[in-house]
Homo-oligomer: A and B are copies of this chain.
Amino acid sequence: VIDNEKRIMTPGSLAGQRGTKRSPTMDVSPDSGDPLVKPMPRVDVRVVLFTVDAGRLFVAFDEQPNCRALPRRCPEQAESLDTAGTRILIDHVGIAERYLEQLYSISHTHTSEGQWTVTYLALALACDGAPLLDPAVWAHARNLPEMNPVDRKIIDYALLRLRPKLGYTTIAFHLLPPSFSLSELQIVYEAVLGQEIDKRNFRRKIPAAGVLEATGITRREGSHRPARLYRFRAGHDAETYLTPGWAFDSEQEAANS
């Protein structure tokens, strides 16, 4: 079982399932290797979880009171990295992410903590049930609190990777409910990019990409013209871009020397 770097982008929002596609099996095979185990550096996994609410981008911190640190965890033996990422979010933030992507592995020898850290980027939906916008958990990405500089760098890097992905993937879907207006989509883009977008260019370019589908429904909410709602097409063929085929079945995997 091998982690996927980037998952299928078909929006889980459509059918209700999560967008994060996992490997089919998650079983734990006993380590059939030699008994002499050299001491290995300790490893932790840290996750940068973003969400967008009211046009603002938020980052999740560990839910321990006033703990201004990224949710993290030392994965257990035989736990996959991806699984660790998901469990971190459930255990330390109380959120199930909709998108999870590994970012980078760093080795830092000056800390007393784990020497190696595997970092993840995750996306979740703001109003998806969980206790959101709890100021003990969520911090505005444009105004991050005091925190250790390693976590700060990891957040900066996560944003650096997330932003250009808006342009060539459909990753923004994971920050939106199953149906949405073009204005809502634009607000998500603006929140992540941190800058305004021209409305007319946006409304020409996004539908031209062919990943949207009109629901036919309009939503009235206020003293103005109602908005047409859209959803993401199930079969859109984007996202082969730079996506590795980290998919093995067990037999192939067992052939690894």
Q: Which of A26-73 contact B (CB under 8 A)?
A: 27-29, 31-33, 37-43, 69
Q: Assess whether A74 is in contact with B244, with CB atoms less than 8 Å apart.
A: no
Number of copies: 2
Residue of B nearest to A74 (CB): B38
**Mask of A133-169 contacts with B, CB within 8 angstroms, 1/0:** 0000000000000001111010011001100100000
Q: Does A177 belong to the interface (CB within 8 Å)?
A: no
Residue of B nearest to A257 (CB): B148
By a beta-carbon cutoff of 8 Å, the part of chain A in contact with chain B is 1-3, 5, 27-29, 31-33, 37-43, 69, 74-82, 102, 104-113, 115-116, 118, 148-151, 153, 156-157, 160-161, 164, 242, 244-246, 248, 250, 252-257
Given contact pairs A42-B40, A153-B245, A256 touches B107 in the complex (Cβ within 8 A):
no
Given contact pairs A74-B38, A75-B41, A107-B82, A113 touches B256 in the complex (Cβ within 8 A):
yes
Q: Assess whether B111 is in contact with A256, with CB atoms less than 8 Å apart.
A: yes
Complex alpha-carbon distance, A81 and B29, angstroms? 26
4 closest cross-chain pairs (CB), A and B: A110-B253, A157-B244, A80-B107, A33-B112
Residue of B nearest to A68 (CB): B257
Q: Assess whether A81 is in contact with B104, with CB atoms less than 8 Å apart.
A: no
Chain B residues whose C-beta falls within 8 Å of the C-beta of A255 in the assembled complex: 148-149
Chain B residues whose C-beta falls within 8 Å of the C-beta of A164 in the assembled complex: 242
Looking at the assembled complex, report how far the CB atom of A255 sits from the nearest CB atom of chain B, in whole angstroms: 5
Looking at the assembled complex, report how far the CB atom of A76 sits from the nearest CB atom of chain B, in whole angstroms: 8
Chain B residues whose C-beta falls within 8 Å of the C-beta of A256 in the assembled complex: 108, 110-111, 113, 148-151
